[in-house]
Amino acid sequence: MSLSANLAESLGKLGVSPMIGDTTRGEHAGVDGWRLANGAMIGWRCPDDTGERESHVAASLIRVAAEAAQRIASIDADTTRTDSWKAEQRAKIASEAQARFDDARGHADKIATDFAAADAREAAPAPLAAGDHAAALVDHECRAWLRSLDPEALVALGKELTEPKHARLLEAMMRSPVPLPPWIAESARAAWIEHRLRADPQGARLRRQARERVEWLGTVTDQVAQAVADLRPKSTSPSVTRTT
């Protein structure tokens, strides 16, 4: 059973209804989203339904909102309680849900931060080994040659940096102790990443999948954040108009 199917079963006990895509109309196969007990909707469309950590973290976030929404829906349906008591209880539940969400969100933020750090490391060549004077000399000569180019030649180089023949030059550029001009630095970074992708297609595929999961987790996190924020009771205090 997929993670989404398991989640649908457990969330169903909290009054959550899964929104299933209609494949006959070309829609996404599987769970498109979740409708909470209070009517709030959270998109899902999990890119990997086998149980990667991103999907488990997303599920834990949704459960926080779902549990609070069910409790509030139960309170709202209670005809034996006063409106003031209900408002007090809703505020308490919303506050507890916000605290739980903030704690759980830390896991999602760490996943995003760790991926960004790893991505940054992948986007730059490894530093030279201590005492590798030969490689340091090649780096120096490459950067000296780069500085000798006129603006027109630099523009032309920027357009062909992705070609395999410039792989060693790219290494030297990316290791430059002096920041490159913004436009050439952006071209060099993109070219280096493309060079790495060609050298390791399997690793590149796994990286793309990881990026997709991390970005998806970010969208789910933002939606749950809004759903939790919307649990707070709306102010019903009458406005006061001052007259002079």
Give the model confidence (pLDDT) of 117-151 as tens digits.
Answer: 988 787 778 888 999 999 999 999 999 999 999 98
Query: Residue 128 has which token pair?
Result: 């030279």
Query: What is the reported pLDDT for 239?
Result: 47
- Give the relative orientation of helices 53-76 and 3-12 as an angle to the nearest 10 degrees: 20
Paired tokens of 132 = 């590798």
* Of 207 and 217, the one with more pLDDT: 217
pLDDT band at 113, cuts 50/70/90?
A: very high
41: which strand partners? Answer: 35
Beta bridge partners of 34: 18, 42
Which of 28-32, 177-181, 227-231 bottoms out in mean pLDDT, i.e. has the lowest? 28-32
Give the H/E segment covering residue 34: strand 31-35
Confidence bin at 50 (pLDDT 50/70/90)? confident
